[in-house]
Amino acid sequence: MDIEAILKQMVAAANDAVEGDVGEITDYAKQIVEQQKQSLEELAKARISGEIDDDVFEQEVEREKQVVKAQLLAVQIMTEAAAQKAVNAAIDTFKNAVKTII
């Protein structure tokens, strides 16, 4: 039983399983930051120009926090889903390797 070879196969299988996910999660995280930046800039301009008062400004800041929270929850789900795929791919590889030996 070549344990090192099996471990390498498991790592390779886990990597293959999440190949596209890492980039997708990173891109979405960047998009969240950019959207939040734009949203807060728009809010600051509206307050400075007097389009909204202090109360509305405060309410909108709190609201923006909730929107970003919903987006970060999506990142968490995407990450957990990717982890699930990686672990299952590694376990499958391990099982197949053991079966081959038996």
Partner 1 sequence: MLQQFRLIPFVLGLLMLALSVPGCTVRYVADYDAEVKAEILRIAKEVDLFWGRLLDTHSDERQYTKFQADYNRIESDLRNLVMRNEIRPLNELSTEQSQIALDLWIGDKSSHKENDTISDFIARRHRQQYVRVFVAMAKGEIAKESTQENNN
CB of 90 to partner 1, least distance (A): 8
Q: Write the binding mask 62 to 81 for partner 1: x where contact by CB under 8 A, - elsewhere.
A: -xx-xx-xxx-xx-xxx-xx
Among 11, 29, 46, 61, binds partner 1 (CB under 8 A): 46
99 binds partner 1 (CB under 8 A): no
How would DSSP label each residue in the chain?
--HHHHHHHHHHHHHHHTHHHHHHHHHHHHHHHHHHHHHHHHHHHHHHHTSS-HHHHHHHHHHHHHHHHHHHHHHHHHHHHHHHHHHHHHHHHHHHHHHHH-
CB of 63 to partner 1, least distance (A): 7
